[in-house]
Chains A and B, each alone.
Chain A
Amino acid sequence: MNLWPLLGIAVVVAGFLARLNPLLVIVAAAGVTGIAAGISPPDVVATFGKAFKDNRYISLVWLILPVIGLLEQAGLQEKARELIARVRGATTGRLLLLYLVIRQITAALGLTSLGGHPQMVRPLIAPMAEAAAEARHGPLPDDLQQTIRAQAAATDNIGLFFGEDIFIAIASILLIKGFLETNGIIVDPLSLSVWAIPTAICALLIHGARLWWLDGKIERSIEEAKAR
């Protein structure tokens, strides 16, 4: 067996670790992989070009930017901040925990488009999570603000990933069913989605606990910043 195509994976790992421009790393990895597998360079370029063209739909999501930009200019983030600052008892951890639960439940019902980074996290969730901490502690140190934003994005992903597989008509369930069928095993989609529930509960407990402790972590890092 020709093992040389694995060299492309090495290019990806090295490129990402060295923090080179990701687009360049990907193109280089594609070239190395294809040539190592004995595909002629023009064919590698053509394979890559065809797949890029076929996957254009992925980049359609950016059509949302004018609406979000317009609303942000009109004060959307500020409104979201003000709203959360008025809720007594709202903390960053509790807010994100609530978002995690909602994201998981809606994804489990097949409503995966109710969240997402350009449409929900950047304009609403991240500013709210920051504002909840600011309302208690005043202006946040830079690194803490970064941590809170990252945690907002992480919560959206985790809620989505470990909720959507409970919905029977989601792409991953259909892929599993199709793959097992080609291998002669017939499974009911419902049994696949049922067995996604134990992991979904674990994910809620694990990430939920981390969010619960996030408030304490925020408090400590504020104290530390003050001590400095």
Chain B
Amino acid sequence: MIGLDQLYVVGGLFFAAMAGLSGFDASNPKRLGNAAFWGLLAVCFLFGSHLSDLINGLLVLALALLAGFGCLGRAAPSATTVEDRRASAERFGARLFLPALLIPVVTLAGSFLFKSITLGGQPLVDPKQTTLVSLVLGILLALVLAMAMLRPKLLTPLQEGRRLLDTVASAALLPQMLAALGAVFLAAGVGQIVGHLAGAWIGDSGPLVSVMAYTFGMALFTVIMGNAFAAFPVMTAGIGLPLIVGRYGGDPAIMAAIGMLSGFCGTLMTPMAANFNLVPAALLDLKDRYGVIRAQFPTALMILGANTVLMYVLVFRL
């Protein structure tokens, strides 16, 4: 059965290649730092499941120290000029889009098809991981197609991939790191403390205040946790269920649906949601790390206001 274990081997080999190519990159004065950073990540991908939790933790600590003390540099930009790329675009035309579009097509098709493919009674792909497996398969197929079409040198895709990875740099690991921080918050009971405080603080102040406390509380706690999924159980147990549903008789489905979407407004406003906000800023070479958040802020606040009105109007009427 193909599942996460196999994908982690692919990921580990990729990061090991990034480490190796970085180590021999004469254009990067900090090449050893880059090699160590991606190398440690490769170790975590390839052997993480067999290492103790403490060793994995020390590994992450080393990653954070390497990034935090400026040990990572950047590869020299691609040697191709705009004119080269224009000429190449002219030559290949719209065919250039094909590999890029193949990835979502394979991801979609695979997520549906793999669910029904079995091999000797066993599912071919872990049913819980069909989307991830399909995504990686789509990437590999797109790579084969692009190689066949463009006929570059064998190492070119890895070198170009490394250049892009260097522009994202340590921000590439932020989403995974933040997920780990969420686990520590959970173990320390941060959620219960906040839910308890929020519930005690608003007390008995009427349906409108309860709705406002719930929608804004969802957004605010999502800003802190970086993830509406972490905020939802806390705020719903602290405010939503006891007050909006329990005391004022609101409809639980409407409360929960609009409550979650209020959390999503928080996701748009926080650097803690790194994969949506900080990673694209790095990918697009924005000078302001918080540029995407700035662009989203007015929209997020207005939708949050709309959510509050919608919930107040709908939740008690149906």
Contacts and interface: CB of A to CB of B under 8 A. Distances in A.
Main SS of the interface on chain A?
helix
Interface string B205-247: 0000000000000000000100011001100110001000100
A39 B188 contact: yes
Interface string A161-198: 11001000001100110011001010110011111101
Contact of B254 (A1, A34, A158, A195): A195
Nearest to A59: B176
B283 A3 contact: no
A105 B29 CA distance: 47
A134 interface: no
Contacts of B8: 56-57
A66 B143 contact: yes
Interface string B173-188: 1111111111111011
B53 A46 contact: yes
Interface in B42-73: 44-45, 48-49, 51-61, 63-65, 67-68
A226 interface: no
B97 A58 contact: no
Contacts of A192: 253, 256-257
Contacts of B179: 51-52, 55, 58
Contacts of A61: 135, 275
Contacts of B131: 113
B97 A76 contact: yes
Given A79-B94, A183-B237, 17 more contacts: A2-B193, A9-B224, A22-B278, A24-B68, A37-B188, A49-B54, A49-B58, A52-B44, A57-B4, A70-B150, A70-B161, A71-B96, A157-B292, A161-B264, A172-B229, A172-B232, A176-B257
Interface of B: 4, 7-8, 10-11, 14, 41, 44-45, 48-49, 51-61, 63-65, 67-68, 78, 80, 82, 84-90, 92-94, 96-97, 99-100, 103-104, 107-108, 111, 129, 131-132, 135-136, 139, 142-143, 146-147, 150, 152, 156-165, 168, 170-185, 187-190, 193-194, 196, 224, 228-229, 232-233, 236-237, 241, 245, 252-254, 256-258, 260-261, 264, 267-268, 271-272, 274-281, 283-289, 291-292, 294-296, 298-299, 302-303, 306-307, 310, 314
